[in-house]
A and B are shown apart, each in its own frame.
Chain A
Amino acid sequence: MNIKFNDETFRDDYTFHNSDWAIQRFPFPFHEDHYMYAVNMEQHRGGPEGSVYEKRFDVDEHYVAEMRDRAMVLADDPLRCQSLPHMELAGWDLLELIMVSKSEDYPDLFELHRNGDHWRWVNKPLGIDDSFTFMDETTLPYGPMEYITRQTQGDFALLDQREENLWMDAGIVTTQADWSLDFDIGMNFFEWHAPVPLAHEKGIFVRALKFLLNVQQGAPGRRLNWTMTVNPLLDTSPENYHKWGIQKSSLTPDNVGQKQYLRVELQTFFRLPRSNGLVFPIRCYLISLEDIVTIPKWGRRLHRVIRDLPVELATYKGFIDNRPMILDYLSKFDDGSETSPGVWPDPQLEKG
């Protein structure tokens, strides 16, 4: 595989764009024409070739640009990356997991050479070649979690497991759907999900926690989540909401197709062996409405999902005010015909 990395931005002039390849492999999250919370977890052990599910940590054309954006966010606000003192071991667990996975899954891009505790890590896309001592923080420019997640797409929550609960005690969060690590760090599973409407009443979090507590070494899992974002802005943080919130008011019937993005999170979870913690990578994929509707099935389905979504969820996901405009746009791509089950594009099922 040969990935050509985009030169693009996620702020200011927003030159972010998806190639045809990226559109075709986009993790469309709706397997039917309506949406409600579910404990939609499955094993994360590969997926169809070329899909975002194939590798343990997907690398795509946005990699280099996303890492550049992350460095800018961290320079502005270092509190986006924090680790409570007892989470250092989990940080090493994570560094090992990512380095081993990426060097095995993308040998042309990443190399890991291990000789006992003496490790050499080569990251060709970012031009990094570092030698260090595993488990010795003084030999790296950052702590282990920060070091490796500055080189890996997606946010990361490192969870400590104790008292039959999970505690968000470390993380790096720069591509989030409007939540603050600095505020939430130290909270348990129910506390950091407290603001989510409807799902508590449905018992979703009780069941999800039970599942997560039993994720075993060597048996990772995954699920999808989604929201809507105006402009391909990765860093929709509460910290900067007073700056980016105004962009939601910039949608017009003429620009909604280009400016309104579906934002999908591929959430995976891995048991960390040395610390018995859990890592929860949250990988964000963005796609504009006008790119979605190039896949007829997705255009039809998204229209129906957005149209029928309960008000509480549209409010929580932050697009209640723009929903009519989004629906006006999408309705033009919904001819009312049937959609096939499942998330895949299924172009062979389209007429003519």
Chain B
Amino acid sequence: MSGAEKIAVRVSDIIPLTDLVTRFEFKPINGELLPTFSGGAHTVVEMQDGDTIRRNPYSLMSDPFDQSTYTISVRRDDEGRGGSLFMHTQVSVGDEMTISNPVNLFSLDLRARKHLMIAGGIGITPFLAQIKQLDRAHANWELHYASRNAALGSYVSELTTQHPNDVNIYYDEEKQAIDLDNLLEGQPLGTHLYVCGPKGMINWVRGTADRLGWASEVVHYEEFLAPQPGERFQVELAISNKMIYVGENESLLEAIEAAGVDAPYLCRGGACGQCETNVVSFDGEFLHSDHWLDDDEKASGEKIMPCVSRFNGKTLVLER
């Protein structure tokens, strides 16, 4: 069996929030309670898109202790492979869908004396669940949330209304920027730093923290990589003795699954390491996109993360 345990749900509400972001709410079909989860967890949503089953991870943003409803936010990506477009255009209230049990790769460090959170754009969603969890524990937290402009700032008003003293908002188009050096220098011992947002923001926060002497184990980040479209390529699966083709808008993992071959996965975003696959032989060039393999492993040509990475060349044979 691959992936986490599955849950059958019904779409109970769809709420457009901004031009790009729509919120989806799920309730369990069997009438039982949904599992509780920990702030920062995601669920993998399965979408039956024609002949293709897409599985995209989305951070759970509802109260982790609320067992009646799960909530996610989906940002429409017009350039992507279609998962977010499917959610925005094909899903209606009342639809039955399958999601995975929650999995957390962006967990709070509960030892922290203070949780300092930095969000960019849709990266706000895991923090919404974490904040609800921390509030219940009367924990010390502070959020700095950057968005392009007010119109795209999903959840700004909800956050600033409920937590006027702990939430700081920055609009890029109004030239508002987080004064990161000052912010980090003033933090008491025991502070943990969390960042979720675009790659540039994550690199900036991690780089600044490192320059100021922050140890890496207190700097937490989550960056889901959506699998990128690319050129069609051919792969031989050695164990199952199959030749498959990975389409332009399909990930290698999806193509393996479509061929009826069971492959392990959890995050489908290049982060968790579950789908790591050995390369038997290849003639061509890997397009590694994950942040699981280190540079040496990527250069070795011995491993690939099929959830996000692709291949360009003549032949690729995988141990699968």
Direct contact of A and B (CB under 8 A): yes
A162 at the interface (CB under 8 A from B): yes
Determine how close the nearest CB of chain B comes to the CB of A164; give it in whole angstroms.
9
Q: Mark A210-221, 1 if CB is under 8 A from B, else 0.
A: 000010111100
Most buried by A among B38, B64, B111, B272: B38
Query: Chain A residues with Cβ under 8 A from B35's Cβ?
Result: 217-218, 273
Q: Mark A67-103, 1 if CB is under 8 A from B, else 0.
A: 0000000000000000010110100000000000000
- Do A218 and B64 contact each other (CB < 8 Å), given the known contacts A161-B107, A275-B38? no
User: A214 CA to B275 CA in the complex, in Å?
Assistant: 12
Which residue of chain A is the closest to B100 with respect to CB atoms? A216
> Cβ of B103 and Cβ of A160 under 8 Å apart?
no
> Cβ of B36 and Cβ of A274 under 8 Å apart?
yes
> Cβ of A160 and Cβ of B102 under 8 Å apart?
no
> Cβ of A216 and Cβ of B5 under 8 Å apart?
yes
Query: Chain B residues with Cβ under 8 A from A335's Cβ?
Result: none
CB-contact partner of B41 in A135, A161, A276, under 8 A: A276
Determine how close the nearest CB of chain B comes to the CB of A143; give it in whole angstroms.
15
User: A219 CA to B40 CA in the complex, in Å?
Assistant: 20
> Cβ of B103 and Cβ of A163 under 8 Å apart?
no
B274 at the interface (CB under 8 A from A): yes
- Do A276 and B137 contact each other (CB < 8 Å), given the known contacts A218-B101, A219-B5? no
> Cβ of B102 and Cβ of A273 under 8 Å apart?
yes
B65 at the interface (CB under 8 A from A): yes
> Cβ of A274 and Cβ of B65 under 8 Å apart?
yes
Determine how close the nearest CB of chain B comes to the CB of A346; give it in whole angstroms.
29
Most buried by B among A84, A163, A273, A275: A273
> Cβ of A86 and Cβ of B111 under 8 Å apart?
yes
CB proximity to A under 8 Å, residues B188-218? 217
CB-contact partner of B104 in A163, A219, A276, under 8 A: A276
Query: Chain B residues with Cβ under 8 A from A219's Cβ?
Result: 4-5, 101
> Cβ of A217 and Cβ of B4 under 8 Å apart?
yes
Query: Chain A residues with Cβ under 8 A from B111's Cβ?
Result: 84, 86, 160
User: A315 CA to B132 CA in the complex, in Å?
Assistant: 51
User: A163 CA to B220 CA in the complex, in Å?
Assistant: 10
Determine how close the nearest CB of chain B comes to the CB of A28; give it in whole angstroms.
28
B266 at the interface (CB under 8 A from A): yes
Determine how close the nearest CB of chain B comes to the CB of A88; give it in whole angstroms.
8
> Cβ of A275 and Cβ of B110 under 8 Å apart?
yes
Query: Chain A residues with Cβ under 8 A from B37's Cβ?
Result: 217, 273-274
User: A86 CA to B109 CA in the complex, in Å?
Assistant: 9
Query: Chain B residues with Cβ under 8 A from A87's Cβ?
Result: 110
User: A163 CA to B219 CA in the complex, in Å?
Assistant: 10
| Interface residues in B, total, Cβ within 8 A | 25
Query: Chain A residues with Cβ under 8 A from B104's Cβ?
Result: 276
> Cβ of B107 and Cβ of A162 under 8 Å apart?
yes
Which residue of chain B is the closest to A96 with respect to CB atoms? B36
Q: Mark A153-180, 1 if CB is under 8 A from B, else 0.
A: 0000000111100000000000000000
> Cβ of A217 and Cβ of B217 under 8 Å apart?
no
Determine how close the nearest CB of chain A comes to the CB of B72; give it in whole angstroms.
17
CB proximity to A under 8 Å, residues B70-111? 101-104, 107, 109-111
> Cβ of B103 and Cβ of A89 under 8 Å apart?
no
- Do A162 and B4 contact each other (CB < 8 Å), given the known contacts A273-B37, A276-B41? no
CB-contact partner of B266 in A160, A161, A214, A274, under 8 A: A214
> Cβ of A276 and Cβ of B38 under 8 Å apart?
yes
User: A87 CA to B111 CA in the complex, in Å?
Assistant: 9
Q: Mark B152-168, 1 if CB is under 8 A from A, else 0.
A: 00000000000000000
Query: Chain A residues with Cβ under 8 A from B137's Cβ?
Result: 89
> Cβ of A218 and Cβ of B107 under 8 Å apart?
no
> Cβ of B5 and Cβ of A217 under 8 Å apart?
yes
Query: Chain A residues with Cβ under 8 A from B107's Cβ?
Result: 161-162, 276
User: A276 CA to B36 CA in the complex, in Å?
Assistant: 10
User: A214 CA to B37 CA in the complex, in Å?
Assistant: 15
CB proximity to B under 8 Å, residues A260-314? 273-276
> Cβ of B102 and Cβ of A217 under 8 Å apart?
yes
Determine how close the nearest CB of chain B comes to the CB of A187; give it in whole angstroms.
15
Which residue of chain B is the closest to A275 with respect to CB atoms? B38
- Do A218 and B5 contact each other (CB < 8 Å), given the known contacts A89-B110, A160-B110, A275-B38? yes
> Cβ of A86 and Cβ of B110 under 8 Å apart?
yes
Most buried by B among A87, A89, A216: A216
User: A214 CA to B36 CA in the complex, in Å?
Assistant: 18
> Cβ of A216 and Cβ of B41 under 8 Å apart?
no
Which residue of chain A is the closest to B112 with respect to CB atoms? A86
- Do A216 and B65 contact each other (CB < 8 Å), given the known contacts A86-B110, A273-B35, A276-B41? no
Listed from nearest, the 10 A-B pairs whose CB atoms lie closest are A276-B38, A86-B110, A218-B5, A273-B36, A276-B107, A86-B111, A216-B4, A276-B104, A217-B101, A163-B217
28 contacts between A and B (CB under 8 A): A84-B111, A87-B110, A89-B137, A160-B111, A161-B107, A162-B109, A162-B217, A214-B272, A214-B274, A216-B103, A216-B266, A217-B5, A217-B35, A217-B37, A217-B102, A217-B103, A218-B5, A218-B101, A219-B4, A273-B35, A273-B38, A273-B102, A274-B36, A274-B37, A274-B65, A275-B110, A276-B41, A276-B107
Interface residues, chain A, CB within 8 Å of chain B? 84, 86-87, 89, 135, 160-163, 214, 216-219, 273-276
Given A218-B4, A273-B102, 4 further pairs, Cβ under 8 A: A217-B101, A218-B5, A275-B110, A276-B41
